[in-house]
């Protein structure tokens, strides 16, 4: 054990270490709260001055993170900053920044590499860097390690580097940061020891991996597994629809089998920060090795086609009522990417709104978790959520149920709406004003 590793282990074991988290979003902020909860000093870093100001004022900007928790965090000594020079004082630096796709659906590592370019010049001997952002196998060694060693540090001796993918599930009350097992791979055995020591202080179970590449692949497998199975049920949904069969009834029946079957549910498309994106990180990297990942790419094609299929179902349903989609007033019910959260990342609802608008429909939305829609890099909406009552619901030509939040009064919607296009299987088969999509 090097003197630097020994000193870092001691500071982690005694909770004297200063932990810095870069990227204070859905992954970074819960991690900050967990480290502070067990007594570590924590420094938050983010380039968004609005987030920094809100956190330092003790305010939360994430629905499932209670304002009281953030206020207590600030009282404990936490501070947020946009100044990367503050990282000189940190013992461990955890990077939780986005890894999106570019316009060609190729990995965009600019947030990771840009962050590391600002971190590396501030580093000193004895620090640990952990990347949590989902990425392709090889990123940690190919992109982060050279940037650290460029500044005179030696990974595994005077600095430590690991990859430990995030596993947050916003809105899931069954699991929290502490109880979700944590995978960790190190650049060297010493790096792995440092990473396991860091996360063991706050996570109930840490799973050591043989390398950073194996840890990176583990995260991709988790999300590709889900994406492929959702692609399967989305394709089954289209087939069942042609046959006049309710796919949700079929899945519920199949799920009664106590072995060999896990239920996955169809929807209007894939959303969230991982599942719509991560498969493309592996397909891109696999080409370097001469491998064409046909199975994964096919699932991606099916899932990507779902918003257009839903809009076509809506257009057909209106046509059956002698109405055109163009000029129709459409209410989108739910715009978050999944139920009971305020998370809008990669939400298929945004694509639905865009497609409907392009076809001349007048679109409004209602979502108790998302009171306001603002412009993003991909979408150009400036809308506010509408309050639902019988008269308002009846004023729309169709209600498109995109996200099945528990807060919606589905009986009210069903009794008042002229037409409902249900993408989530909320309503059983047989309602005269409901079309499944």
Radius of gyration of the chain (CA): 24
Judge whether 274 counts as a catalytic residue: yes
CB-count exposure of residue 47 (10 Å: 0-12, 13-18, 19+): middle
In 3-state terms, what secondary structure has residue 9? helix
Please give the backbone phi and psi of residue 222, each rounded to the nearest 5 degrees, phi first. Answer: -55, -50
Neighbours of 246 (CB within 10 A): 17
CA–CA gap between residue 336 and residue 273 (Å, rounded)? 12
DSSP 116-150: HHHHGGG--TT-EEEE-S---TTHIIIIIHHHHHT
Coil, helix or strand for 332? Answer: strand
Going by C-alpha positions, the residue among 167, 303, 171 that lies closest to residue 223 is 167
The strand pairing partners of 403, in sequence order, are none
Outline where 151-211 has alpha helix (H): 189-200
**∠185-47-115 over CA atoms, to 5°?**
35
Q: Which of 96, 162, 274, 414 is catalytic?
A: 274
Give long-range contacts, CB 8 A cutoff, 24+ apart: 36-42: 36/73, 36/76, 36/78, 37/202, 38/201, 38/202, 39/15, 40/15, 40/201, 40/202, 41/17, 41/77, 42/18, 42/73, 42/78
Token pair recorded at residue 192 = 């792995």
DSSP 89: G
Q: Which two tokens stand for residue 173?
A: 């009350």
- At residue 9, what are phi and psi to the nearest 5 degrees? -55, -45
Enzyme catalytic residues: 274
């Amino acid at each position: 054990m090097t003197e630097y590793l020994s000193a870092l282990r001691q500071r982690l074991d005694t909770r004297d270490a200063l932990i810095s988290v870069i990227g204070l979003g859905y992954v970074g902020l819960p991690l900050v709260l967990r480290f502070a909860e067990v007594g570590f000093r924590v420094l938050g870093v983010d380039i968004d001055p609005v987030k920094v100001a809100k956190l330092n004022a003790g305010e939360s900007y994430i629905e499932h993170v209670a304002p009281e928790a953030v206020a207590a965090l600030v009282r404990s000594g936490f501070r947020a900053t946009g100044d990367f020079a503050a990282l000189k004082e940190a013992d461990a630096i955890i990077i939780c920044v986005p890894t999106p796709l570019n316009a060609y659906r190729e990995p965009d590592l600019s947030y990771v590499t840009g962050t590391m370019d600002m971190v590396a010049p501030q580093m000193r001997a004895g620090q640990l860097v952990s990347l949590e952002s989902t990425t392709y196998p090889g990123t940690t060694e190919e992109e982060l390690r050279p940037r650290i060693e460029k500044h005179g540090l030696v990974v595994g001796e005077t600095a430590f580097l690991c990859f430990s993918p995030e596993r947050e599930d916003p809105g899931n009350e069954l699991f929290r940061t502490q109880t979700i097992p944590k995978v960790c791979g190190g650049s060297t055995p010493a790096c792995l020891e440092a990473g396991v020591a860091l996360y063991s202080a706050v996570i109930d179970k840490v799973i050591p991996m043989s390398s950073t590449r194996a840890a990176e692949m583990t995260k991709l497998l988790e999300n590709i597994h889900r994406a492929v199975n959702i692609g399967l049920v989305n394709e089954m949904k289209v087939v069942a629809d042609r046959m006049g069969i309710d796919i949700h009834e079929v899945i519920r029946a199949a799920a009664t089998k106590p072995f060999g079957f896990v239920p996955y549910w169809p929807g209007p498309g894939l959303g969230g920060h991982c599942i719509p994106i991560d498969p493309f990180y592996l397909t891109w990297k696999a080409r370097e090795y001469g491998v064409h990942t046909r199975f994964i790419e096919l699932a991606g094609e099916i899932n990507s086609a779902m918003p257009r299929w839903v809009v076509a179902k809506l257009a057909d349903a209106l046509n059956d009522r002698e109405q055109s989609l163009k000029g129709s007033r459409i209410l989108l019910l739910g715009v978050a990417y999944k139920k009971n959260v305020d998370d809008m990342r990669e939400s298929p609802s945004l694509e639905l709104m865009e497609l409907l608008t392009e076809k001349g429909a007048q679109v409004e939305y209602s979502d108790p978790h998302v009171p306001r829609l603002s412009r993003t890099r991909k979408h150009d909406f400036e809308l506010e959520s509408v309050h639902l009552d019988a008269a308002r619901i009846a004023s729309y030509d169709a209600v498109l149920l995109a996200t099945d939040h528990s807060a919606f009064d589905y009986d009210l919607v069903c009794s008042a709406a002229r037409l409902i296009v249900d993408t989530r299987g909320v309503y059983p088969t047989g309602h005269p004003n409901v079309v499944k999509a």
